[in-house]
Amino acid sequence: MSANVESMFYVRQAPWHGLGKKVEQALSSEEALKEAGLDWTVVQRPIQTNNQMEIPGYKANIRESDGRILGVVTDRYKIVQNQEAFAFTDELLGEGLRYETAGSLQNGKKVWLLAKLPENYIISGDEVSPYLVFSNSHDGSGSIKVAMTPIRVICQNTLNLALTNAKRIWTTTHTGDIKSKLEEARKTLLLAEFYMDKLVAEADRLNRLKVPDKKVMEYIELLLPIPDNASKMDCQH
């Protein structure tokens, strides 16, 4: 199935694929971790050949709860536990943050969590509710990504869409001291909110801009020129 959902929760509005657990209101990080089925940890184990020889430089990422092998990574790879992901976004946006969806994809290889930003934006009369999405992979196939997006992530496809179309996105690899990179992510998020504020202001300015009828006709003639030999009937059409 294209959704690739192993487990998830969602608030009120059911996703198109009908998977996951419905809750009536957005959850705290502690509640979301449990309801999304993400309350498990990843451990690393050495990889051995058939004759018990350890393969240097590589480890296996294994889900501790059921022993599922999530991926093979280098020994420089640093695990970011699901609980740490929630703590990360809690610290980014402050206490009281609520989560609208979260879940596991591809049998635990990838996870995501989605928090609604505290402020809505009105753009030309339409309300836009941006989200913060955190994406992490446990199989070594991708980096840690934090992005601001108007897309409500409910499956693999919407996660890809949200990350592809995000106006502001922060990415880091699973190496080094990941916690020390929090300030970099915070700056990126602040830039994202600044971008939304500027977008709202520009949309409002354009919305108030009045174009004279004469100027409108000049634009129409420029974009849709009428041939010199056009008949009256051609002009009517």
Contacts of 61 (CB under 8 A, 6+ apart): 42, 43, 44, 69, 70, 71, 72, 73, 77, 79, 138, 139, 140
CA distance 151 to 126: 15
Place of tokens 């409910």: 154
Residue 216 forms part of a structural domain: no
The structural domain count of the chain equals 1
Residue 125 forms part of a structural domain: yes
Query: What per-residue confidence (pLDDT) applies to 190?
Result: 57
Query: What per-residue confidence (pLDDT) applies to 110?
Result: 95
Query: What per-residue confidence (pLDDT) applies to 52?
Result: 87
pLDDT digit string (tens) for the chain, length 237 residues: 346 899 999 987 776 567 888 999 989 999 999 999 999 999 999 999 988 899 999 999 999 999 999 999 999 999 999 999 998 888 877 766 789 999 999 999 999 998 887 665 544 455 555 788 889 999 999 888 888 777 666 667 666 666 676 656 778 888 877 677 766 776 666 555 555 555 556 555 655 655 566 655 655 555 545 555 544 444 444
Query: What per-residue confidence (pLDDT) applies to 233?
Result: 44
Query: What per-residue confidence (pLDDT) applies to 198?
Result: 57
Residue 222 forms part of a structural domain: no
Q: Give alpha helix (H) positions in the chain.
A: 29-35, 82-93, 156-165, 182-208, 213-223, 232-236
Segments forming the whole domain that contains residue 115: 5-197
CA distances to 213, 214, 224, 234, 237 from 220, rounded to whole Å, are 11, 10, 6, 16, 14
Residue 207 forms part of a structural domain: no
Query: What per-residue confidence (pLDDT) applies to 13?
Result: 74
Give the total residue count for the chain.
237
Query: What per-residue confidence (pLDDT) applies to 55?
Result: 92
Query: What per-residue confidence (pLDDT) applies to 152?
Result: 66
Which pTM was predicted?
A: 0.69
CA distance 64 to 139: 14
CA distances to 36, 66, 217 from 32, rounded to whole Å, are 6, 21, 56
Query: What per-residue confidence (pLDDT) applies to 91?
Result: 80
Residue 190 forms part of a structural domain: yes
H/E segment holding residue 168: strand 168-172
- 3 near 19, Cβ under 8 Å? yes
- 132 near 85, Cβ under 8 Å? no
Residue 187 forms part of a structural domain: yes
Residue 229 forms part of a structural domain: no
